[in-house]
Chain A
Amino acid sequence: MNSRLVGTRSERREDAKLLSGRGRYVDDISLPGLLEAAFVRSTAGHGRILSVDVAAARTMPGVHAVLTYADLVAAGAGSRMPLPFPHPAAREGLTQYALAADEVCYVGEPIAIVVADDRQLAEDAASAVIVDVDPLPVAIGCVDAAKDDAPNVHSDRSSNVAAHLSVGFGDVDAVFDAAAHVFSDRVAMHRGGCHAMECRGVVAEYSRHDDHLTVWTSTQSPYLVRRILCQHLGRDEHVTRVLAPDVGGGFGPKANVYPEEIVVPIAAMALGRPVRWSEDRREHFVATLQQRDQIWEVEVAADERGRMTGLRGRAWHDAGAYLPYGVVLPLTALTALPGPYALDAVSVTMDVVHTNAVPTAPVRGAGRPCAAFVLERMADRIAQELDIDPAEVRRRSFVTAEQMPYATGMRYRDGSSVSYDSGDYAQCLEAAVERSGYAGFEDRRRAALADGRYLGIGIASYVEDTGVGPFEGATVRVERSGRVVLTTGAANQGQGHATMLSQICADALSVDLNSIRIESADTGRFPMGMGTIGSRIAVMAGSSVQQAATEVRMKALAVAADAFGVGTQALTIEGGFISVLGQPDQSISLGEIAARLFPTVGGVLPSDVSAGLEATSFFSNGGRIAYAYGTHVAEVEVILDTGEVRLLRYTVAHDCGRIINPAIVDGQIIGGVVHGIGNALFERMMHDDQGQPVNANYGEYLLPMACEIPPIDIVHIETPSPLNPLGAKGAGEGGTIPAAAAIIGAIERALPGTARLLHHPVGPEQLYALINLNSPLTSKISGVAAQLQSR
């Protein structure tokens, strides 16, 4: 197969439009008669709604409607929102009402929608809605909320434990009994929000003439939104169209289906006018799903050489007030075990705990960073205790290349065995070690120490399940002009899918990149799709495009062969033309073939050929997962006087299978690492004990900016995956998964003799306190070290 463009750093086709401000995001959409909405949201962490008085709001200038739960009931949408991903372990799978009914359970929970001529007027009226809430006790913090005596997160449910998950394999007791070493630690991980630069947004337009509802939403999953919306409103899918316009970043939370995606369409239908709601940043902190805490108390078993042999323990996961995304996030964290390690036994249980805060769901990495953080911190513990180089512990513990495909011992939900398809983890680690100058670190450290500077280096590895099914799809169609139209359900939030898929199509069909047009993420243009999550689009949509384009190529060749009276092996296809080898004047364009397959009335199709030069493929991987993997090395300096951490350099070696566009993959990795830097050092979503968010603005919730980023160096290893025609694996999240572990490990190593660093984010004050634990001047701050704080 031709490989002209696949594998090259093709410039992105999306860029020209975006660089000249011609993107069209939800808030850019213009429709005749469009009204703007604002939501009234709970300002209490927990309370019983006594009354919602909208009388004053309804009479304010420019207001067209104010809807509450009563209006949802009248519209037949008064039940709790459907649960998209049920799981047997989630006993109840509690979701919220699209507008709060009689109780609010988190600050930010939507209570009413105001629709007005513009957003300013809508907000004015929203502030005139009087909500009377009788406060109820609030449970914050998942470990505390799991206790029997904790306040009820929901007044009518006495247990806050939404699910009890459990994973494992092997004889854990035997492995630990036989272990030469057993170490235990308590690891606490905080993530944060996705903070895509474009907040969420929904535009809904309803036509009474044909009962057609169109919803534009800043989503990663238009098909899921349609399914849930239709389910909740009792509508048919064929008259409900959901599309994602340009989307300014997703990172996980935009894959959920939200109350606003239900309420805005209801408002549009009630008013007979299109309605838009654009989330603002303050809302984003309380209305869009985020990740918060996971705490793991674990023991690791190792043999006398420091090979990791087993892991067991219990964990707690903060689910927030509801389970809109089921238990996908905590389960993904657990099933990421055993990572790249050939463990003999694993046994971890996890309580998924409700708290009175905004619900949680996957954010870039989706729980895998938590599993990686635990595994890597314990690997470093082994290294420390046995006085072995941390890289060596990894080498001794890795699954080897010879063991591939490797059944880890874990099982998928359907009972089938989890198997790593391919990979050489040790080779990848060596590449990272070499590129990062790991071997020379000791010399650098000593030289710096002579200057009074403290350097540290951390290494962390990961495995990532990518390309989850069941399918994604694409249609490739050639029009009589020669234009190639590629339609797919796959949704894009900046990953350059249009470029990546065009490269695949161009190679498979031997056409120029510029002849291809892409349509995507529109249920009205493509019948079925899944969603952009879990680093799956290159594998799933890319393979669909490969298959569909190849089918079109074959069909075109067959028609041409018939037309020229030769066998297909006597033909060549290039630049949109098929010609007889050695006879360039015997040539026909793809456009002309398309025209022959789409003649006018009375015309004739070539015999034994179906109409149209097009093909559709829904690539399915039969449930098999392609495992990407990598190793990261972080080098840091810790300033003892202040506890500041400076990132000096960062190295990534990774294998995501065959790379379709290295520039795009570089971008995904660097962007992913920067999310990891945020997780390690900066991001902490703080709530007080009444569930009030403390730092819901960008002055106080810290995201990394350009001056905080070190040079990031990447080594690409390409081991084609045997599981799809491209040989590709996913690349969207690998940058994030081990990053916090590498950075925290580096900080710990910069400060030998101080306490273990078993949590993130780590802030300068905590480090300062750890460094100066014995200094009388800082005895007051030493208590901070024991607490989970970001300062």
Chain B
Amino acid sequence: MSDIRSIRLNVNGVYHEFLAESRTHLADALRKHLGLTGTHLGCEHGVCGACTILADGQPVRACLILAVQAQEMRIVTIEGLAATDKTHPVQDAMAACGGLQCGFCTPGVVASLVALLEEDPVRSREDIREAVSGHLCRCTGYQGMVDAGVKAAAMMQADR
């Protein structure tokens, strides 16, 4: 009784159209249908945060949205966070502060920090920690990520 749909998604500024079952979640659509494998699956029940992407500027769990629901959203994934040949201050700060090791949780963390700081780069360390608390990491112990958020916030405030 598979319900196959034609689905049209706006991802990183580009429209894509593909066929998929309606049960396909957005993360699988990005990974398997659009070849955007930067968004990762760590738990598929909404806790680990590895699949976090931006939908209309808000951080969301891509494993808990059906692709068919995402058709009117402006989706931004890790691959589209910075303009070509440039990096986002969050990416630079993560590298400078030891915010990643194996890289698996990283795209989700970057998405959350970008969402937080693009909304308002004036953030306390506690605010940044709270945003990072929506992510599980087994490598870094989180300290480097929070440091990265603080550094990126400063960079983005200076840029304004």
Contacts and interface: CB of A to CB of B under 8 A. Distances in A.
Q: Are A and B part of the same complex?
A: yes
Interface of A: 11-12, 14-25, 27-28, 30, 61, 118, 120, 194-199, 246-249, 251, 280-281, 493-496, 663-664, 666-667, 670-675, 697-699, 703, 705-707, 709, 711-712
B47 interface: yes
B115 interface: no
A699 B46 CA distance: 9
15 contacts: A15-B94, A18-B106, A19-B100, A19-B110, A21-B107, A27-B40, A194-B138, A197-B50, A198-B40, A198-B104, A248-B105, A664-B98, A667-B101, A667-B139, A698-B48
Given A16-B95, A19-B94, A703-B138, A27 B106 contact: no
Kindly name the residue among B36, B43, B136 whose own CB sees the greatest number of chain A CB atoms within 10 A: B43
A587 to B, nearest CB: 34
B138 A196 contact: yes
B102 A120 contact: no
A15 B139 CA distance: 14
A666 B141 CA distance: 10
A20 B88 CA distance: 10
B144 interface: yes
B103 A248 contact: yes
A493 B138 CA distance: 11
B108 to A, nearest CB: 9
B101 to A, nearest CB: 4
Contacts of A24: 37
Contacts of A674: 138, 141-142
Contacts of B40: 25, 27, 197-198, 248
Interface string B26-61: 000001100111111111110110100000000000
A226 B22 CA distance: 40
Given A670-B143, A674-B141, A709-B143, A493 B102 contact: yes
A666 B42 contact: no
A280 B136 CA distance: 16
A663 B98 contact: yes
Interface SS of A by simple majority: loop
A281 B143 contact: no
A245 to B, nearest CB: 11
B151 interface: no
Given A20-B78, A25-B40, 10 more contacts: A15-B94, A15-B103, A19-B100, A21-B77, A21-B79, A197-B136, A248-B104, A666-B98, A697-B45, A711-B143
A196 B107 CA distance: 16
10 closest Cβ contacts across the A-B interface?
A21-B38, A494-B102, A248-B104, A18-B103, A21-B78, A494-B101, A670-B141, A698-B47, A674-B141, A28-B37
Contacts of B110: 19
Nearest to A709: B142
A20 B139 contact: no
A19 B144 contact: no
B96 interface: yes
B125 to A, nearest CB: 11
Given A27-B41, A120-B24, A709 B91 contact: no
Nearest to B146: A706
Given A494-B102, A667-B139, A707-B129, A198 B107 contact: no
B67 to A, nearest CB: 12
Given A197-B50, A494-B102, A667-B140, A706 B42 contact: no
B23 interface: yes
A707 B132 CA distance: 8
A784 B151 CA distance: 46
B137 interface: yes
B132 A706 contact: yes
